[in-house]
Structure 1
Amino acid sequence: MHATLILKQVLADKASPVQDKWRGIPTRLNNIPHSRDIRAYFYEDVLQATIRSIKDGNTRLRVDINIPELNPEMDVYRIGTLMELVRALALSFADDGKRVKVCVQGSMGEGALAGMPLQLAGTRKILEYMDWGDDETLGTFVKLGAIGGKEVDEEDDMFILVAPQNAVGNCIIDDLQAMTTAAGKRPVVLINPRLKDLPASSGIMQTMGREQRLEYALTFDNCYVFRLLYYLGTQYPIMGALRMSYPYRYELYKRVNEENGKEKYVLLATYAERPTPEQIDDAFSGKSRDQSKKASGIWGFLSSVFS
């Protein structure tokens, strides 16, 4: 199967840093477009964390990565980068003999309210026209589908769901829950999901069943997290980063400018669980927990870390 050749192209050549283990955070991440090596470096990091988690028996996984090209809140968001990440994951598992179904949610709602999130518009067509290696890969080892219980076939070994998210007036949770129920113990991996409740078309929050929906969203465990940190309400400059690659601890980094005009990321702290905004504020401010209670924080990373 020639899927291996395509995967190697996605992950760059032998000189690429992805061939090594994690070597720290790449610099100049605000330079757009990202180089092929930087993209491949993150694809490999996500892949290895996902493989480790699945090998440990985890079946409900989520990946959250918001480098600028994968952050839909930024005007440099690039749908092609998301598709490359999905392809790298799917081809790697397919090359291992797994039958992978890549799923993109379809149009939700009816009549004038029908539609899908702008972030996902056109993604199904992009996936269909992408290079998946030899002619037998797509349709045999990798199949495309939507999100829902009826999309689960007996021969599917695992499922990769592309940025599932709620839309105003429509909730993806019911379809997602039906799919995971049908999947049983087979792995379901969410890539950059956005499962928070949104207002209904009337502008009122969807209160019926809201608690159950939020509880269900929490059943997916993070196998990978990478988020750049900024001052609250800004997207420049980068102040630091938060990273977690299963099964290791959360790592908090601070970006430091050097005298020669270069930059580096310095590890400030590690955490067994995802750090709270207060813990991040303490680490950047160099305060103890008791000291931080006496003064308000200055960093305001809440929107970047917990959105």
Structure 2
Amino acid sequence: MASHSLGVLGSPCSPHKSTNGASGCGAASWSLHPPAGKERQSIITNAPYKSVSISSTKKTTRIVIYARKQGGGLNVMISGAPASGKGTQCEMIKDKYNLVHISAGDLLRAEVAAGTDYGKRAKEFMDQGKLVPDDVVVSMVKQRLQLPDVCEAGWLLDGYPRSLSQAQALEALKIRPQLFILLEVPEDVLIERVVGRRLDPVTGKIYHLKHFPPEDPEVAARLIQRSDDTEKKAMERLRTYHENLASVLSVYESCIKTVDGNRPKSEVFGDISSFLDDRIKAATKVSKPKQDSWRGMPTKLNSIPHSREIREYFYTEVCEGVRNAVEDGLHKLKVEITIPELNPEMDVYRAGTLLELVRELAFTFANDGKRVKVCVQGPMGEGIFRGMPLQLSGSRMMLEVMDWGDYGAKGTFVNIGAIAASDVSETDDMFILMAPQNAVGNCIIEDLQAMVQAAGDRPVILVNPQLKDVPGAGGVMQVIGREQRMEFSDSFFVCYSFRLLYRAGTFYPIMGALRMKYPGPYEVHKRIDTGYSSETYIQEATFPGRPTPTELQDVFAGRSKEASKTKSIWSFFGI
């Protein structure tokens, strides 16, 4: 991936709608001038976006960096007060991570130099040391982030946002950081850096009279001080900056890392680079490809406990199937996986395996900057009859205390909640519901319906739901409204399904397996013994929808559909 610098001008890129709802860009040619005959309104053009950060105390200004992985490139954001070191660190970040460097300040100055309407408005405020109005900055940054180079390579956004309203505008666009790095710099150091800065009007390069003077006397002679680099203007800008920082920081305070910025630039960059590398490792923990990575059926699935390799194989399978469905715009989804450790009807069921699966699924989307709420139902019923299914007993507490990594995911991008409409927040992007199920005399479906309605078109993913009606204490099924409840339960789209096939009423031997990962078909695999303690699975048939018990029996009996007239003396469990 090649390194990119800020493109001042670009020919328009028409956004296209991707399957996950974000805008994107195709390849486009660029020019340094607007098309002939077109009146120039702005020097930048259309496209997607991402996120932001900042922080401060009365005497210390902090740079905030945000990093996020999406598509092919890493997306990073850095923000801070004037002369806080953003430019230097941005150059080093850009060189190492091959990103397109985009400075909000450069965009503003380019608009001013071009004499656009945006530039004229911005200049009035910049000359007074004040912040440029949000509508101007938001429009320019949003447009720049939609250019083709940014879409392909990723971006490094420098100096934005600077106000709560800007941060909220990014939130509304689902542009969110996974990591903030705060660079602390004493205010007296900042003032000294500002007043010593000089601009070379020929090359546009910034020098400093004390820390970075030009070597060429000819260059030194033509240096000028920018109108907003005087001590008076710097004090005004810092005061304005501090007034906005606290509110901006409150939006992102849960995922902040702090770095001492008053050190040599290599030491500062070492800390920043470490945080970014950690973020990249976390983002690549779960694979993202939409194509089927099927590599053959794992064997020895009746050996308990399952090996780590087997568990991770199924975690990846589930995550890929769910991701594929979400990217295709489906939002009521269901995962059905009943390997022995995830089959509550078997005495080898392990709650820890279900918890791990839910965590990996949450990380799959949190690594993309999505805010995921993992939900588990609470006790149902009244008085002494109040309780919850044994399978879920203690699961909420275990979710709270389990390891969610060293990157501040829990409480920022992953939150724990209940199955209830009241637990649906505007900041949630999606919901993962862990094994929702009815209990004796109590039905979870009404709470589930209310939550789905509150979620709107945001994805709701049920992992191993058990939504069949359960008899009451007197052995009587809940009849009233049963048809509507079952209709709602069946309205969830199965995006991943895996179950082992046994002879009816048994869990041994394994006859085969039924597998489906969206968008693929249902696959019927037959288990074959290949020697002592050795086995393999052979795919025998595929079906566009879930096969019926009769169709499965025909596959294992080797009968064609036309020959399927008689009932087999054996059948499969739970189909």
Q: Same fold (TM over 0.5)?
A: yes
1:268 matched to 2:540: yes
1:257: Cα distance to partner?
0.5
Cα distance in 2 between the residues matched to 1:4 and 1:103: 27
1:63-116 residue CA offsets vs partner (Å, 9 max, x unmatched): 000111111111111111000000001012101000000000000010122100
Aligned residue for 1:296?
Answer: 567
Cα distance in 1 between the residues matched to 2:468 and 2:420: 18
1:152-210 residue CA offsets vs partner (Å, 9 max, x unmatched): 00000000000000011000000000000000000000000000111122211101000
| Partners of 1:102 and 1:145 within 8 A in 2 | yes
Of the three residues 1, 24, 32, the one matched with 2:304 is 32
1:17-56 residue CA offsets vs partner (Å, 9 max, x unmatched): xxx9211110111111111111001100100110000000
The amino acid across from 1:248 in the alignment is: G
SS at structure 2 position matched to 1:200: coil
| Partners of 2:434 and 2:464 within 8 A in 1 | yes
Aligned residue for 1:229?
Answer: 501
| Partners of 1:199 and 1:205 within 8 A in 2 | yes
1:82 matched to 2:354: yes
Cα distance in 2 between the residues matched to 1:74 and 1:225: 18
1:184 matched to 2:463: no
Aligned residue for 1:106?
Answer: 378
Cα distance in 1 between the residues matched to 2:359 and 2:531: 40
Alignment of 1:10-159 (within 5 A): 21-134=293-406, 136-159=408-431
Cα distance in 2 between the residues matched to 1:4 and 1:208: 52
SS at structure 1 position matched to 2:484: helix
The amino acid across from 2:540 in the alignment is: L
* Larger Cα-atom Rg: 2
Cα distance in 2 between the residues matched to 1:239 and 1:168: 33
1:115-135 residue CA offsets vs partner (Å, 9 max, x unmatched): 000000011111111111136
Q: Structure 1 pair 210/3, CA: closer, same or farther in 2 (3 Å)? A: farther
Cα distance in 2 between the residues matched to 1:36 and 1:6: 19
Cα distance in 1 between the residues matched to 2:471 and 2:359: 33
Cα distance in 1 between the residues matched to 2:434 and 2:453: 18
| Partners of 1:3 and 1:137 within 8 A in 2 | no
Cα distance in 1 between the residues matched to 2:534 and 2:490: 39
Q: Structure 1 pair 116/233, CA: closer, same or farther in 2 (3 Å)? A: same
Q: Structure 1 pair 304/5, CA: closer, same or farther in 2 (3 Å)? A: farther
Cα distance in 1 between the residues matched to 2:550 and 2:313: 30
Of the three residues 448, 467, 486, the one matched with 1:214 is 486
Aligned residue for 1:172?
Answer: 444
1:6: Cα distance to partner?
6.2
SS at structure 1 position matched to 2:306: coil
Aligned residue for 1:258?
Answer: 530
State percent identity of aligned pairs. Answer: 58
Task: Provide runs of 4+ in structure 1 moved above 2 Å.
Answer: 1-9, 288-292
TM-score, normalised with respect to structure 1: 0.92
Cα distance in 1 between the residues matched to 2:280 and 2:378: 30
The amino acid across from 2:368 in the alignment is: D
Cα distance in 2 between the residues matched to 1:202 and 1:134: 49
Cα distance in 2 between the residues matched to 1:262 and 1:3: 41
| Partners of 2:436 and 2:466 within 8 A in 1 | yes
Gap runs ≥5 in structure 2: 1-178, 180-277
1:288: Cα distance to partner?
2.4
Cα distance in 1 between the residues matched to 2:534 and 2:389: 38
Cα distance in 1 between the residues matched to 2:365 and 2:526: 34
SS at structure 2 position matched to 1:161: strand
Q: Structure 1 pair 3/34, CA: closer, same or farther in 2 (3 Å)? A: farther
The amino acid across from 2:541 in the alignment is: A
> How many equivalent residue pairs?
295
